A and B are shown apart, each in its own frame.
Chain A
Amino acid sequence: MPQRRHLIASAIIVLLLALVPLAGSRYAVDLTTEVMIYALFALSLNVLIGFTGNISFGHAAYFAIGGYACAILLTTYGWPLALALPAAVVLAGLVAAVVGYFCVRLTQIYFAMLTLAFAMLVWGVAFKWKEVTGGDDGFTGIKMPAMIAHHVGYFYFTLIVVAAGIAALWVICHSAFGLTLVAIRENSQRAGFIGVDTRHMRWAAFTVAGTFGGLAGALFGMYHRGMYIENAFWTESAQVLIMVLLGGIYSFIGPIIGAAVLHLLQTFTNQYTPYWPTVLGLILLVIVMVLPDGLIGLARRVKARRGRS
């Protein structure tokens, strides 16, 4: 039974990750924390891209809303984490529901442009609403609960939250709902004529994506002890989109791989050269030219070729 195999594999990965802090390297702990957060962020976007067939250019909006909301509730209002985090996630989901309501009326490039427009609006709010968000100085000095203030404590907190988030997304993507989304991606006219209200389904997918994107953002803000307007900028949306494409949109785990590879590459590249955007451009070029279905697609093709010979 494949499901059981997946469960065992996931348990092993979580256990291995749990061992990372034992190596005693702060650098490794921090890097792994970042990768886990980006993995959740990329997976949330793939609910829209890979499963529903709608490309969003504005996913950073929900990441930023989750991040800012959690930071502000913790710090400005002194809420406990147990309330601030869920509230931030719900807020990101609600905003996604409102934005999605308009976006799913359009398809393809028009859909993508509208998601971008709304994301720039969110960026504008973060920039202008200085007394709440800190404007272009950023929102810094987040008050962290003592339990997760230490980097190792935060690592385990992130591991648990991300694992739970990924598990929830796995269930959603493989549910009857998820399979119907794939049908919409494949052929939305036909999906309509088996009795599926495709617009409502796409709206729901948009909301799910925004909700989990908000969760990733909340984790990100607390990890960095601050949120900055760059986190809401379109380049952030582009980066997560590239993570998804790099990993492969047609598999559940593709975006996790893409997030890990891209973030590690960025970190190592930055040690040697300031030209990360150039490297990013080259990666994008390679994806578009030779890896249309990402690293997962490449792995599948290699496997198929081995099987034949």
Chain B
Amino acid sequence: MTAMLHIDGLWKSFAGFVATRDVSFELLAGETHAIIGPNGAGKTTFFNLITGHLRPDKGSVSFEGRDLVDLPPQKIVRLGIARSFQRINIYPRLTVFENVQVALIAHEGQQWNLFRPGRSLHRQGTQELLELVGLAPEALETAGELSYGKQKQLELAIALASQPRLLLLDEPTAGMSPQETGETIASVRDIVKARGLTLLFTEHDMSVVFGIAERISVLHHGEIIASGAPDAVRNDPEVKRVYLGEHGHV
């Protein structure tokens, strides 16, 4: 397998606080990779640096050989990277259906079409994505009125509408009940497998992480202190000391 995402010597600080410290990282095509670390370790910052929402102070990010550092988010998504956000990030006053439909319109570059009725476009594609994430029954509901777990599912559908090859999920199960967590993870795993996606995700729930990740990287104070197969990471003395130990055993 070759590296799909290649990050080298990445730095980012905010007013003197170093959120990302000399991070080098490789993501292999087709793998499912988890980033773990305590709150404030810099996981979301790391995602934002990849997707162009933040600009690194130093270092390089390349995706399939293309440099991402100076690209704005809307260009990066077109290269085949999609993400969900840690805090719910949908269009609350649109229907569930329209939330996904707009993403398909944008993916096809039809947002500049001033004549074709927007609501008639991609009806089938939207329906299929909603069925994939289990939201077909809620298609006509106002997105902002969905339960928290379902809004997270909608985020996933929006991300998938961009036809990504790399999917970044920032805490996909945060705030979910144990049952919702189980369902979400099962559906994410199936989708990733069926579409041959590369998945990079952050997660708090260790059972989720060790259940689906093929490789795990541990972020601590903005640095990657360990990276490897789940068992190797679990037994890494440094990881045990700074992170896993605080949570008891895993």
Contacts and interface: CB of A to CB of B under 8 A. Distances in A.
Interface of A: 3, 171-172, 174-180, 182-183, 186-187, 189-198, 201, 204, 250
Contact of A182 (B82, B94, B113, B116): B94
Interface of B: 51, 53, 72-74, 77-78, 82-83, 85, 89-94, 98, 101-103, 105-107, 109-119, 121, 158, 161-162
Nearest to A183: B102
A195 B74 CA distance: 4
A183 B103 CA distance: 9
A172 B114 contact: yes
A43 B110 CA distance: 24
Given A182-B94, A187-B91, A201-B111, A193 B119 contact: no
A186 B90 CA distance: 8
B106 A190 contact: no
Given A171-B115, A182-B94, A195-B106, 7 more contacts: A177-B111, A179-B105, A180-B106, A191-B106, A192-B72, A193-B83, A201-B111
Most buried by B among A178, A180, A190: A190
Nearest to A180: B111
A190 B91 contact: yes
Most buried by B among A3, A175, A191, A204: A175
Nearest to B112: A177
Nearest to A168: B114
A101 B189 CA distance: 44
Contacts of B94: 182-183, 186
27 contacts: A172-B114, A175-B114, A175-B118, A176-B105, A176-B112, A176-B118, A177-B111, A179-B105, A179-B119, A180-B102, A182-B91, A182-B102, A183-B94, A183-B102, A186-B91, A187-B89, A187-B91, A189-B85, A191-B91, A192-B72, A193-B53, A193-B73, A194-B102, A195-B74, A195-B77, A195-B107, A198-B74
Given A174-B117, A175-B114, A176-B121, A186 B93 contact: yes
A194 B129 CA distance: 15
Nearest to B98: A179
Nearest to A174: B117
A188 to B, nearest CB: 10
B130 to A, nearest CB: 16
Given A193-B83, A194-B106, A195-B106, A176 B116 contact: yes
